[in-house]
Amino acid sequence: MAKHTLDISYDYDFLLIGISSHEKDYRICWALNKKFGIDLIKKDSLEIKGKKHATPSYFSFFVFDKKEDFLEYSVIANFSENKELLAKGDTLFNKEDKLKKNNQTANELLVPEQKQMNYFFILRGEVGDEQADEILKMIKEMEVVQTAMRIDVTQLKSKQNLIF
C-alpha cells in the first residue's frame, strides 16, 4: 500500500515588529490604540503546547480587524502567562515545585530566539516597505516602548508559533 504524506506550507506574509517594554499588555495596547486610531480587543489567550512540556503555555493576545483597509492588527506577548501559576492556594514556595513537576519554566517564550522582546505587533495585509518603516518609527516614539525592531519572520526557527 502506498504511503501518502501531506506537505503543508504556511504563508508568513505579514509585518512583524518586536516591542521591548516593561509595561503590562493592556497598557501597550492602549498606547497602540491611541497612536494608530485602532481598537485592539483582548481575545482568549493563545495556547501552545511544546513538545518538551506536559502542560500548555498561554500567551496574552489582542486583535483588531480593519475591514475597510483589509488589515488585521495583532499584539501577542512573548512571555507566557502560565495560568497554572495564578491558581489559588499557590504560595511563593510551592510554585517552584509545581513547575519542576510539570517540566515547565516560569517564563516560557513564544519566540525563544527573540527573548529580548516582550511583545510582537503583527500586521497582516498589504503593507509596503515605506508604510512599515513609518509604523516602526511611530511605535519607537511611544512613551511606553523602550525599543522596537522589525523582524524577518522567515529567519525565525519558531515562526510556526506565529501562525494563528
Give the pLDDT band of residue 20 (cuts 50, 70, 90).
Answer: very high
Residue 107 counted as domain residue:
yes
Dump the DSSP string for 101-122: HTT--SS-BSSGGGTT-SEEEE
Residue 57 counted as domain residue:
yes
Residue 152 counted as domain residue:
yes
CB-based contacts of 144: which residues, under 8 Å, 6+ apart?
A: 21, 23, 27, 28, 31
Calpha distance 53→56 (Å, rounded): 7
pTM score, two decimals? Answer: 0.76
Residue 126 counted as domain residue:
yes
Average pLDDT, the chain: 80
The structural domain count of the chain equals 1
pLDDT above 50 for 102: no
Residue 62 counted as domain residue:
yes
Per-residue pLDDT tens over the stretch 38-92: 999 999 888 877 666 667 888 898 999 988 888 899 999 988 886 545 454 555 5
Beta strands in the chain (DSSP E): 14-20, 41-42, 46-48, 57-59, 61-66, 71-77, 119-124, 147-150
pLDDT above 60 for 24: yes
Residue 5 counted as domain residue:
no
Residue 73 counted as domain residue:
yes
Which range marks the domain in which residue 76 is found? 14-162
- Phi/psi zone of residue 25: left (φ > 0), alpha (ψ -120 to 50 degrees), beta? alpha
pLDDT above 60 for 99: no
Residue 116 counted as domain residue:
yes
The pLDDT score that the predictor gives to residue 104 is: 47
